[in-house]
């Protein structure tokens, strides 16, 4: 799913995307000529394996997300906020969701047996 940067106005535009068992939904709205602010939630379940014993486990996620989307290279000051750059005038929501899922998976997660 993608939306052209030029189609996003100051009024918030809702989006919703579901991938496997994760729902990614929220709003995007224009912040400046080349910047769009995304406020969303990631809710659902990700299949993963325990980092200690390799047992399958499900990660429950419920994460608020706030990202700045840049149409082209981001030249602003480094903020507290994450910035994602897109280079062809479109925002690709699947890519944002995929990278958020990867970043959650890249942490250490243990099954209940290994936690105790």
Q: Which residues contact 111 (CB under 8 A, 6 or more apart)?
A: 50, 52, 53, 55, 57
Residue 104 is a binding residue for Zn ion (CB under 5 A): no
Q: Which of 42, 46, 97, 111 binds Zn ion (CB under 5 A)?
A: 111
Number of amino acids touching Zn ion (CB under 5 A): 6
- Shortest distance (Å) from residue 22 CB to Zn ion: 22
Could you tell me if 15 and 25 are in contact, meaning their C-beta atoms sit under 8 angstroms apart? yes
Residue 59 is a binding residue for Zn ion (CB under 5 A): no
Residues found near Zn ion in the complex (CB under 5 A): 50, 52-53, 55, 111, 114
């Amino acid at each position: 799913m993608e939306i052209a940067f030029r189609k996003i106005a100051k009024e918030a535009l809702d989006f919703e995307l579901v991938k496997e068992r994760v729902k990614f939904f929220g709003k995007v709205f224009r912040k400046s000529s080349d910047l769009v602010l995304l406020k969303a939630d990631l809710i659902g379940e990700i299949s993963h394996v325990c980092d200690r014993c390799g047992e399958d486990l499900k990660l429950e996620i419920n994460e608020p997300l706030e990202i700045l989307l840049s149409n082209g290279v981001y030249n602003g000051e480094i903020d507290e906020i994450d910035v994602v750059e897109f280079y062809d005038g479109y925002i690709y929501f699947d890519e944002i969701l995929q990278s958020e899922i990867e970043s959650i998976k890249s942490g250490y997660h243990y099954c209940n047996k290994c936690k105790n």
